[in-house]
Structure 1
Amino acid sequence: MHLLIRFIVNAIVLWLVISLVPGFHNNAGQSGFGAYSIGTIVILAIIFGLVNMLIGPILRLLSAPITWLTHGLFQVVINWILLGLAVWIAPNVKGGWLPTLIGAIVLMIVGTLIAMASNPERTSTV
């Protein structure tokens, strides 16, 4: 159940990111809220989930020293690579390096907020 909720939230956030961040467009060159079908968003969310599940742990393991040295800030670069790969694989979604960077930052912020809301004792300061 937790996985389904996380998938739905990621799909909604991905839809908002590719609809609001300038630079994302479909194959016809359209952008904005009406440019993407629900099927396109679901496919992008599935691809992003698979890329995150299969390639993400390898990248995180290989970049652990850099992530440690930057106090976790290098995670933005990893998320940027994963989102860029998902957008590159997904049909009918196109975006450059700057929109994917902004999208990765937004996804990271939303993921942090969801983690804080779903597990409050993990984020306590006491």
Structure 2
Amino acid sequence: MINYLIRLACCAAAVYFMPQFLNAIRVDTITTALIVALVMSFLNTFVKPILKLLSLPITILTLGLFSLVINVVIVYLCDYLVDGFKVSGFIQPLIFGFILSIVNSVVGTFQD
């Protein structure tokens, strides 16, 4: 449980500081960043596998590139669910998702 909380805190810190580098993303407060991290965790755990299963044929046809669209859809779902978190465009949310996955991987590496 403590590992999950550490990963959540690091993810929230990344979410809070990313709008300084990505101008199409806006996060109002640190509380909003923590909520975004929690919602992204929930969406990646429960919704993303369902979307990947439903889009399996098109993912195979595009040689896996459609999974990038699924990542952007997850970020936009989080935008819809969390007040104070705004996203626009396609490339910026894609970069946002990549950075979050890298942060989670790095933090997970140090926790094991």
Q: Which has the higher helix share?
A: 2
Gaps of 5+ in 2: none
Distance 2:100 2:87 in 1: 20
The higher radius of gyration belongs to: 1
In structure 1, the partner of 2:14 is: 13
Query: Are 1:65 and 2:57 counterparts?
Result: yes
| Deviation, structure 1 residue 112 | 5.0
| Deviation, structure 1 residue 82 | 0.5
Change (3 A) 1:44 1:110: closer
Gaps of 5+ in 1: 27-35, 119-126
Question: For residues 66-122 of structure 1, what are the alpha-carbon distances to aligned partners after superposition, in whole Å with 9 as ceiling and x for unaligned?
Answer: 2233332222100100001101211112222x1x5423234225525754883xxxx
TM-score, with structure 2 as normaliser:
0.73
Q: Is the 8 A contact 2:48 2:70 kept in 1?
A: yes
Change (3 A) 1:71 1:108: farther
TM-score, with structure 1 as normaliser:
0.66
Q: Is the 8 A contact 1:17 1:106 kept in 2?
A: yes
Distance 2:25 2:100 in 1: 19
| Deviation, structure 1 residue 2 | 4.1
Total equivalences in the alignment: 108
In structure 2, the partner of 1:105 is: 95
In structure 2, the partner of 1:52 is: 44
